[in-house]
Amino acid sequence: MRGNGGADEGDGSGVYWSLVIPLKPLAVAKSRLADAAGEELRPGLALAFAQDTVAAAAVAPGVLDVVVVTDDQLAGAELARLGARVLPDAPGAGLNPALAHGARAVRARRPDAPVAVLNADLPALRPAELARVLSAAAAFPRSFLADAVGTGTTFLSASPGVELAPAFGGPSRNRHRRSGAVEITVAGVDSVRRDVDTGEDLRAALRLGVGIRTAALTGRPRIAE
């Protein structure tokens, strides 16, 4: 966040972003990882993913603040320690209403804020790669980044005065494209696209190099940013 690390350098566009990151209660998060990681480890991995995501996002150039929307008290406390502002999921109506709620909360404080949504399961996230995505996003009213598989979305942005209009879940890439959001195609941002839902996804993230909390749970060394 601005004032931490290199964030005062901006994102290359002179724009400072508020990021909204959603997180399900840990008891139900990342259910598809249970087969690969085991049910006992699954909630801990979900939290570690979110911690590594928030920690990297908070120091990315161009990021002013990070807002996490979650009803999980443990996760909320841990992510607040990393500097995130934590909001309860007041709508309680699913992912997209939670994201819209987070965006409204950001703009209640900063009406002209550019807002972006970032997935909470990006344990390999690199601040410099996120900064490149934010810089590209600044050129469009709304934009998105597809996930590594090419069907979902890991990032959605809205410039000042523009509604976020999130349409996450399942094949959201096509929904965001049809909604008028511009797809970001900048190269070299694999860590921003590498969300983790399955064991195969986790292995791919480990190959990229994950943050310290995910590394501690998986026994894999962290690769330097």
Residues of the binding site = 153, 169, 172
**165-213 confidence digits (pLDDT tens):** 999 999 999 999 999 999 999 999 999 999 999 999 999 999 999 999 9
Q: Determine phi and psi for 78, rounding to 5 degrees.
A: -65, -40
Which among 80, 100, 77, 78 has a CA at the least distance from the CA of 90?
Answer: 100
Place of tokens 């911690």: 51
Angle of the 42-58 helix axis to the 127-137 helix axis, nearest 10:
60
Band of the pLDDT at 120, cuts 50, 70, 90?
Answer: very high
Per-residue pLDDT at 184: 98
Per-residue pLDDT at 5: 37
Q: Are strands 63-69 and 85-87 parallel, antiparallel or unpaired?
A: parallel
* Type of residue numbered 224: A
CA distance 100 to 183: 20
CA distance 44 to 165: 31
Place of tokens 């929307």: 69
**2-35 confidence digits (pLDDT tens):** 533 333 444 556 889 999 999 999 999 988 887 7
Burial of residue 182 (CB within 10 Å: 0-12, 13-18, 19+) is middle
**133-173 confidence digits (pLDDT tens):** 999 999 999 999 999 999 999 999 999 999 999 999 999 99
Per-residue pLDDT at 221: 57
Contact 113, 107 (CB under 8 A): yes
Residues of the binding site for phosphoenolpyruvate = 153, 169, 172
Average confidence (pLDDT) over 58-76: 97
Alpha helices in 4-126 (DSSP H): 34-37, 42-58, 73-81, 95-109
What structural domains and CATH numbers belong to the chain?
Answer: 7-216 (3.90.550.10)
Per-residue pLDDT at 6: 36
Average confidence (pLDDT) over 62-70: 98
